[in-house]
Structure 1
């Protein structure tokens, strides 16, 4: 049975979007997931499920999460191999930048259009950079980062696809732990 890693967007933000880990596990199991595990309370889920299409897995999870919580929970799903590749690329990017202060990884439901990629990558400057590969956008903020051309929230909106972000540590830890 295939295994996937799912990233839930916009949960546990304020009083109205609470989705505790135990409820995530129950809803994931209701969607047909087995061998469910979570990591910290930010919506990181490993599961096995007989579905073989990423889109079908996302749809099944989103339907179960909506039924369980009463609000939509956009969900981005990767295979372990995909997440392992994202983590390896992230480590390479970080190691190549000794003055890097922050590294956010936007996990994307679908690949953005080439025009949108060009626009966000084009906002990079000598201190901050955006690198997009497939369904991951890396926001690399250098020493003395001050909101400017590369603003993480603007990058997310500019990509034009459903996204959720994690930092380098979370993505690396999950790749090591679950992949």
Structure 2
């Protein structure tokens, strides 16, 4: 059994795409995922599976949610060590990191688009784009930022899902508890 982390994009935001976490845990357990846990309402799932193909797991979770709830939800499945690598690769200082956001990319963005977006600059906002993540820090707070997950999705033409520092730390902690 391997431990995985599934990140669901855009659920339970402003009353849109409502998925109760207890119902999601039960649903995912019924399709064969083991030790299913969720963290907060924003679509963070930790589970175990004997399946080695992350894309198959993404599709299985996606199709289950679509058939049960009736809407599409992009799913990103990562191994704990992949999430830890993304977390550790943050370019920010420890103080900045605690106020930063990790926008995990579902696919690698086109290099030309990355270069184009990397030239953009906004006061009090700093970001770095890698193959797997946009690291983002805004000294005045995410709610006042020009850049957002949607901004980077539009500019890079990829699907992404954002998590803050605290959520990343908790996901790493919860997934470590399930590791053999």
Shorter-chain TM band: 0.7 to 0.9
Q: Please give the per-residue CA displacement for 1:69-116, whole angstroms capped at 9, x wherever unaligned.
A: 1111111111110011112223x524274xx79422111211212122
Answer whether contact 2:149 2:162 (CA < 8 A) is retained.
no
The within-5 A match list for 1:26-105 is: 26-90=26-90, 93-95=92-94, 97=96, 102-105=99-102
Write out the 4+ residue segments of structure 1 that deviate beyond 6 Å after TM superposition.
none
CA distance in 2, matches of 1:144, 1:73: 27
- Matched residue, 2:24: 24
Q: How does 1:109-124 map to 2 (within 5 A)?
A: 109-124=106-121
Distance 1:29 1:125, change over 3 A: same
Give the secondary-structure state (helix, strand or coil) at the position aligned to 1:61.
helix
Which residue, 161, 164, 167 being the options, matches 1:167? Answer: 164
Q: 1:152/1:110 Cα in 2 relative to 1: closer, same or farther (>3 Å)?
A: closer
Asked if 1 retains the 8 angstrom alpha-carbon contact of 2:102 and 2:134, the reply is: yes
Secondary structure at the aligned position of 2:41 is classed as helix
Report the Cα distance in structure 1 between the residues aligned to 2:120 and 2:110, rounded to whole angstroms.
Answer: 16
Task: Give structure 1 stretches of 5+ with no counterpart.
Answer: none
Q: Please state whether the residue corresponding to 1:19 is helix, strand or coil.
A: coil
Q: Secondary structure at the match of 1:64?
A: helix
The CA deviation at 1:147 is 4.3
State the shift of 1:40 in Å.
0.8
* Greater Cα offset, 111-120 or 163-172: 111-120
Gaps of 5+ in 2: none
Residue 13 of structure 2 contacts residue 42 of structure 2 at CA under 8 Å; is this kept in 1?
no
- CA 1:64 to 1:94, structure 2 compared with 1: closer, same or farther past 3 Å? farther
Aligned residue pairs total 175
1:26 is paired with a residue of what secondary structure? Answer: helix
Q: Quick check: 1:129 aligned with 2:94?
A: no
